[in-house]
Amino acid sequence: VYDSNRYTVAGLVQALGCELIDMGVVRDDPAALEQAFRDAAAQADAVITSGGVSVGEADHTKAMMKKLGDVAFWRIAMRPGRPMAVGRITQGERSALLFGLPGNPVAVMVTFAAFVRPALQQLMGWQAPPLPLLKAKSTEALRKKPGRTEYQRGIVRTNAAGELVVSTTGNQGSGVLSSMVQANGLIVLGHTQGNVAVGDEVEVMMFDGQL
C-alpha cells in the first residue's frame, strides 16, 4: 500500500493555513494506535487519520476512539466515503476532534472537502460563507441510487450558449486518483436523487483551489 494519503491530507491542511504535525504511519496494532492517539491529542486541536475505520479485522480506529473519548457518528450515507468516523479523543486536560477518514485516495479528498475543511474553518474562526453549489447541465446520463449522497468527479465548462455544463471524468472508483486530477469540481447528487438524464441540471461543488 503506497503512502499517498498522508501527503494529500498534509497538503490540504497546510493550504488552509493550519500548522501541521505529521505523526507518520501507525501499524494496524491497537497498542500502537492508542499511543499515537494519546500523543496526537496531547498537542493538537484536531487529529486526522486515513484508513482503519471500516469493519475489517485490522480496523481499530473506531474502537480506540470509544476507549479514549467518544464517537459522534460513524458510516455516512455517501459515496465515496461511507466508512468515516468523527468524534473526540481526550488526553489529560486536552481534547481534540478526530476525523477518521477512509483509506481510498478519492474518498479521503471528498470527505475532507465535505466534512473536515468546513469544520477546521469554523475552528479557525473563518468568517467567509461557504462556497455555493453551482447549477450545471449534465452532458451525459448518470446512474444514481436514492438513499445516499454521491460525489462524482466532474469537468465543468461553459458551452457555446454560455451555459455551465458538466461531464464526469470517467471511472468513478474511489481508488482512481486520476479522476480527481482531471476534475475541477464535484457533481453532488443528493440523498433522494435518482438517475440523471442528459440535459438534466445537477449541482456542482467547484474546487476553486481547495483541492
Closest by Cα among 176, 202, 207 to 188: 202
Say if pTM beats, i.e. exceeds, 0.85: yes
Q: What phi and psi, each to the nearest 5 degrees, are found at residue 144?
A: -155, 130
The answer to whether 149 touches 78, Cβ cutoff 8 Å, is: yes
List, in order of start, the domains of the chain with CATH numbers.
Answer: 5-123 (3.40.980.10), 134-206 (2.40.340.10)
Window from 152-156, 186-190, 194-198, 207-211 with minimum mean pLDDT: 207-211
Window from 46-50, 97-101, 125-129, 196-200 with minimum mean pLDDT: 125-129
203: left (phi over 0), alpha (psi -120 to 50) or beta: beta
Residue 12: pLDDT over 70 = yes
**What does DSSP say about strands 78-79 and 149-158: parallel, antiparallel, or unpaired?**
parallel
pLDDT in tens, 33-80: 999 999 999 999 999 999 888 877 778 888 899 999 999 998 899 999
Question: What's the chain's average pLDDT?
Answer: 92
Angle at alpha carbon of residue 58, lines to 54 and 62, rounded to 5°? 50
Residue 209: pLDDT over 90 = no
- Residue 79 DSSP SS3: strand
DSSP 116: I
* Mean pLDDT on 84-90: 93
**What does DSSP say about strands 201-206 and 134-138: parallel, antiparallel, or unpaired?**
antiparallel
Residue 99 C-alpha cell reads as: 476525523
CA-CA distance, 111 to 138, in Å (whole number)? 23
Residue 142: pLDDT over 90 = yes
Residue 122: pLDDT over 90 = yes
Residue 211: pLDDT over 70 = no
Residue 175 C-alpha cell reads as: 481508488
pLDDT given for residue 3 in this prediction: 87
The answer to whether 141 touches 187, Cβ cutoff 8 Å, is: no
Residue 59: other Cβ atoms inside 10 A: 17
pLDDT given for residue 210 in this prediction: 60
64: left (phi over 0), alpha (psi -120 to 50) or beta: alpha
pLDDT in tens, 159-189: 999 999 999 999 888 888 889 989 999 999 9
CA distances from 24 to 3, 82, 91, 137, 170 (A): 10, 24, 19, 42, 33
CA-CA distance, 45 to 211, in Å (whole number)? 22
